[in-house]
Amino acid sequence: MTNSHRNTPATATTATPAAAGAELATQATDLDGRHFNGRHFNGQDFDGRTVLVTGGTSGMGLATARMLLERGANVVITGRDEARLARAEARLTEARLTEARPAGAGPAARERVFAVRADSARPADLARLAERVGERYGHLHGVFANAGIGVFETPAEVTEESFDRTVDVNFKGVFFTVQHTLPLLEQAPGGGGAIVLNASWTLHRGLPNAPVYAATKAAVHNLARTLGSEFAGRGIRINSVSPGYIVTEMFHEVITEPAQQEAVRARVPLGRLGEAADVAETVVFLLSPRAAYITGQDIVVDGGVVAVANPW
């Protein structure tokens, strides 16, 4: 009887003990953890790699872009507003990166930032973005689909306009970002492209006054798993991150009073609000070769809000 499963080879061979031992030997890890399956990791995991960060003008996007620069990447950032985009580009190119690059290690930060105006809610903008990235670099190694908005309304307050805008940016924009950048990821030298989608802790626990926002983030989470399955055979990994209470511009816009902010902090088992860098570290890990065996997963970066009882 023929096995019709597409991932099952028609024939199989049994490895000898010697062959198995040799295979395990090639997978050995040094005590310092820098070698695994023939890969060598150091502080510059992204040297020569190109990564796109949508919504890279502030908050988690900007923090991720900076961290990628520190690790040697070429970084493409996007934003809807020309002035904010220019300020973000200036902050990145003028920043004194915390991890000094050795002489001759590659271009300076100002030569590795490419800012492109694009509205993630408009697929035509995303198509032009992919075209410009292709013209400049020819490929991508990673994408952080971060662009999103937070509209917090009760069900009675939601209008068709706010509903459509939230879905357009938070879900449709993420989907078409992946669609238009996929060919560039498939062109990456050596393969192994990676995508990280920005979801939210609200997909794991109910949150009042966020019915549409939370629904779009749940859709993004499911998209990571579905597309992770779709593209695994092409060597492209897709994961999501679910940030908790992270201090960004959006956080201050939504939670304006110090007393409210303190009440929110008190809900976090680790005893502090998150920083954009907390999320950036996770995103950079998932985009890096260090996460080469991880796909279709969601990592919650929330100080324990979802999964841990508050000890305070």
Q: How many CA atoms lie within 13 A of 180 on its CB side?
A: 24
Check if the beta carbon of residue 68 is closer than 8 Å to that of residue 284. yes
| Residue 78 near residue 117, CB atoms below 8 Å | yes
The residues, ordered by sequence, that sit 6+ positions from 75 with a Cβ below 8 Å of its Cβ are 50, 51, 52, 53, 56, 65, 68, 69, 92, 112, 113, 114
Concerning whether 293 is annotated as a catalytic residue, the answer is no
Give CA–CA dist 10/24, Å, rounded: 25
CA distance 130 to 35: 34
- Both structure tokens of 281: 């570290």
Say which residue the tokens 């201090």 belong to: 247
How would you classify the pairing of strands 194-198 and 237-243? parallel
Structure tokens at 188: 């990456």
Set 137, 213, 245, 293: catalytic member: 213
The answer to whether 54 touches 120, Cβ cutoff 8 Å, is yes
CB atoms within 10 A of CB 224: 25
Residues assigned a catalytic role: 213
